[in-house]
Amino acid sequence: MLKVYLAGPDVFLQNAVDIGNHKKTLCRDYGFDGLFPADKDEDVTADPAEIFSANCSLMHQADIGIFNLTPFRGPSADAGTVYELGFMFAQDKPVFGYSSALVPYADRVGQLAGPLQEQAGRLWDQTGFSVEDFGLADNLMIARAIAESGGSFIAIDETDGDAAATLAALQAFEACLKAAQQKMDTEIGAVQAEA
Amino acid sequence: MLKVYLAGPDVFLQNAVDIGNHKKTLCRDYGFDGLFPADKDEDVTADPAEIFSANCSLMHQADIGIFNLTPFRGPSADAGTVYELGFMFAQDKPVFGYSSALVPYADRVGQLAGPLQEQAGRLWDQTGFSVEDFGLADNLMIARAIAESGGSFIAIDETDGDAAATLAALQAFEACLKAAQQKMDTEIGAVQAEA
């Protein structure tokens, strides 16, 4: 059974353990063994070095990564999650992303620091910083890593519930699991056909 | 001469090319060859796949990474920069960080989504999400990666200028270059002593 690292800001939810268990159960339904970072995180006075080491170990064990890229405390995904995306991409593992935000990154920046202005062919926020305007879900490094790895990104609007449900993005997560299952089945089929 | 990848949200500044050139000049002063992502970014209609590929190529060439982790559009560092930190850490390269924000991450979250409340031994923001409270400069994955790689993180308060100067964080960058020079000189000395 392929191991999937379940990265995301879910670990910051009050019901992090429940959400983690629910996501791991969904993983089983799609033929994956889900590894959730909060597993190692029950000691709330935990040492950051130990959490870091435990998460790196889980990522090393994992065959693929599924990343909750729902915006967190700003227009972009959670910083720890994005760090882990770079880490797993560098290990040549397929990375998949999901989010409960349908609105593209540039529009989210507009909500935070707009109105945006076009000048010299680029978009600028009110602080005077340029805004990537490729219609992508987040910074291009994130979106392109997912695409280049053979993964996919799925957004489903789940912003009508409370903040915790919006952050957990369960519908998008399940759709992403389905996409990952299809992709990995295809890859395994191709390897078997070659053999 | 060791090659240094100069990651950061500097690429979103109006004077990105000037800042990039200035940082590359400072690199030479400390014995490094600086690789700045905006080098490849002059065509403003550039394709995200090309920018991604060019940045990955620069990171592969680089021996070490120096990351501008100044908060960007929220309490954490720029998402693209954090992605690249994970990417280079996974390649076992020393990673260094700098920032113009002295205030720890938890306090920055408090400014955005506070007042923070303590409950069950953890800190919580007003949205109901927990806040890492380790006194670190950002998410623990970022801070620990720098430490584990043998790098260092340097913050110098440069928030009294305009937003562009605060984001460029030139004083912290130069202090970080100095730290990187000392570290790499020590490593090279140790290798020579072994030989």
How far apart, in whole angstroms, are the C-alpha atoms of residue B54 and residue B49?
Answer: 9
- pLDDT of B191 reads 74
SS3 B112: helix
Q: What residue has token string 């790895």?
A: A149
Q: CB–CB of A140 and B14 under 8 A?
A: no
* pLDDT at residue B95 greater than cutoff 50: yes
Q: How confident is the model at residue B135 (pLDDT cuts 50, 70, 90)?
A: very high
* pLDDT at residue B39 greater than cutoff 80: no
- pLDDT of A44 reads 44
Q: CB–CB of A52 and B112 under 8 A?
A: no
Closest CA relative to residue A73, chosen from B158, B79, B137: B79
> pLDDT in tens for each of the 195 residues of chain A?
999 999 999 999 999 999 999 999 999 999 999 999 965 555 545 789 999 999 999 999 999 999 999 999 999 999 999 999 999 999 999 999 999 999 999 999 999 999 999 998 899 999 999 999 999 999 999 999 999 999 999 999 998 889 999 999 999 999 999 999 999 988 777 777 776
* Complex confidence, ipTM: 0.95
How far apart, in whole angstroms, are the C-alpha atoms of residue A36 and residue A40?
Answer: 8
CB interface of A with B, residues 22-41, below 8 Å: none
Q: Are A66 and A177 in contact (CB under 8 A)?
A: yes
Q: CB–CB of B141 and A80 under 8 A?
A: yes
- pLDDT of A193 reads 77
* pLDDT at residue B136 greater than cutoff 60: yes
DSSP per-residue letters across A155-168 = E----SS-HHHHHH
Phi and psi at residue B110, to the nearest 5° = -60, -40
